[in-house]
């Protein structure tokens, strides 16, 4: 006899992506001659750059000879990659992070979903609204979120921090004190960022109330303005209250290759216990590690050629972002994001829901985007377009939107 984890049963289905797929399939069937262009995907489209490909080839060859063959990877990840990350992503920006505070993983999604395991069941979480849905969903599965209100699209024990045009998409401190605060900047889906000063306020707040910040910096590579922090550890005191999660997916095309890392500084302590020691237990028992071959490819992202090639790739995506922003602004839409992030967040015309706008874009322009309501209740009234598409298609899509 067994029983199911009832928390899983509480999860509403992924109406967002299944709903989009269904509508697009119906449209294609009814309009076989129309070319549908997707500006809705959060996946990258450009191939891995040559520096990464040659590192992959070399690593594969190493696996073929007894002297260089590698078995299980070390729990935290190979030192060559952790040392490179500590130097390039942190020490170069004045952040005091050491290689043994970095845990290599197979991508940010797993870490975003699993990090909640080291906190107690009654920990209250606070999330930006709208945001990447994994933070809330993983806490639902863990039984931490209370009951779902389908009409409001909210969970009773989650503290929502609305991010709308009214507050510049920068969340206000919540009325109730959370134990765990999820921040994602540059933000998916709004494409907005916090300045260093704004982020410092969050660090000070977390220290004041004794909370931990989970800082998701998956889109860090897209930051272009100096006043925006690349890492939360650029803020004073963050090593005592913040965990940072990063990915190689959006800066280096690893969405299918899989690599990421999480920084858990040893200074974050709950009484006598360091959170680092708990996450190390997890890595020792519940995590298999990213393969050597992939970690070698990750290290190649930091070589001189690797950095130059990746910079070019990010610039190509950001040119798409510019085209989308400009095109929408020319049409009179209010447009946000797309400057320090590959996401463009637009206000939709009054009187329409974000699904109405989805239908209009699909049926009139054969362009697919993502309704803002899919990212949280405060996303209603907005719509997300992404810069990850192909350059020519992005231009065609915007030309079609101009004709609407």
Query: What residues line the site for ligand PLP (CB under 6 A)?
Result: 42, 107-109, 112, 132, 184, 188, 216, 218, 247, 249, 255, 260
Question: Least Å distance between CB 48 and ligand PLP?
Answer: 14
Which residues, listed in sequence order, are joined to residue 180 by a DSSP beta bridge?
125, 212
Nearer to ligand PLP, 42 or 174 (CB): 42
Question: Least Å distance between CB 284 and ligand PLP?
Answer: 21
In whole angstroms, give the CA distance from residue 153 to residue 234: 35
Question: Least Å distance between CB 184 and ligand PLP?
Answer: 5
Question: Least Å distance between CB 114 and ligand PLP?
Answer: 11
Q: Which residues contact 6 (CB under 8 A, 6 or more apart)?
A: none
Nearer to ligand PLP, 184 or 203 (CB): 184
Question: Least Å distance between CB 332 and ligand PLP?
Answer: 29
Which residues, listed in sequence order, are joined to residue 149 by a DSSP beta bridge?
154
Which residues, listed in sequence order, are joined to residue 171 by a DSSP beta bridge?
none
Nearer to ligand PLP, 292 or 375 (CB): 375
Question: Least Å distance between CB 43 and ligand PLP?
Answer: 8
Question: Least Å distance between CB 258 and ligand PLP?
Answer: 7
Nearer to ligand PLP, 81 or 365 (CB): 81
In whole angstroms, give the CA distance from residue 210 to residue 178: 9
Nearer to ligand PLP, 292 or 343 (CB): 343
Nearer to ligand PLP, 77 or 327 (CB): 77
Nearer to ligand PLP, 259 or 275 (CB): 259
Question: Least Å distance between CB 154 and ligand PLP?
Answer: 20
Nearer to ligand PLP, 260 or 389 (CB): 260
Cα-atom radius of gyration of the chain, to the nearest Å? 21
């Amino acid at each position: 006899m067994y029983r199911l984890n009832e928390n899983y049963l509480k999860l509403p289905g992924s109406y967002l992506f299944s709903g989009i797929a269904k509508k697009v399939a119906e449209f294609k069937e009814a309009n076989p001659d129309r070319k549908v262009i997707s500006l809705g995907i959060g996946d990258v489209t450009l191939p891995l750059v040559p520096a990464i490909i040659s590192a992959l080839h070399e690593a594969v060859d190493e696996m073929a000879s007894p002297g260089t063959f590698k078995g299980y990877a070390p729990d935290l990840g190979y030192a060559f990659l952790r040392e490179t990350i500590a130097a390039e992503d942190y020490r170069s920006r004045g952040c005091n992070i050491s290689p043994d505070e970095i845990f290599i993983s197979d991508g940010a999604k797993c870490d975003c979903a699993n990090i909640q395991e080291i906190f107690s069941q009654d920990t209250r979480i606070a999330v930006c609204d709208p945001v990447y849905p994994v933070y809330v969903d993983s806490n639902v599965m863990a039984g931490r979120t209370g009951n779902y209100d389908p009409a409001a699209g909210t969970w009773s024990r989650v503290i929502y921090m609305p991010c709308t045009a009214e507050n510049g998409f920068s969340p206000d401190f919540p009325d109730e004190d959370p134990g765990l605060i999820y921040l994602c900047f540059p933000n998916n889906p709004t494409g907005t960022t916090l300045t260093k000063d704004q982020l410092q306020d969050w660090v000070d707040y977390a220290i004041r109330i004794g909370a931990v910040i989970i800082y998701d910096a998956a889109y860090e590579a897209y930051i272009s303005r100096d006043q925006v922090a690349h890492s939360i550890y650029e803020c004073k005191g963050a090593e005592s209250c913040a965990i940072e999660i990063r990915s190689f997916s959006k800066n280096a095309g690893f969405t299918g290759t899989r690599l990421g890392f999480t920084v858990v500084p040893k200074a974050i302590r709950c009484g006598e216990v360091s959170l680092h020691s708990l996450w190390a237990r997890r890595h020792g028992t519940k995590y298999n590690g990213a393969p050597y071959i992939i970690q070698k490819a990750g290290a190649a992202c930091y070589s001189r050629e690797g950095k130059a090639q990746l910079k070019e790739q990010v610039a190509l995506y950001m040119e798409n972002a510019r085209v989308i922003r400009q095109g929408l602004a020319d049409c009179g839409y209010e447009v946000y994001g797309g400057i320090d992030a590959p996401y463009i967040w637009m206000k939709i015309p009054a009187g329409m829901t974000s699904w109405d706008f989805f239908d209009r874009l699909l049926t009139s322009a054969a362009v697919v985007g993502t309704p803002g309501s899919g990212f949280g209740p405060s996303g209603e009234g907005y719509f997300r377009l992404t810069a990850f598409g192909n350059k020519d298609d992005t231009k065609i899509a915007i030309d079609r939107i101009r004709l609407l």
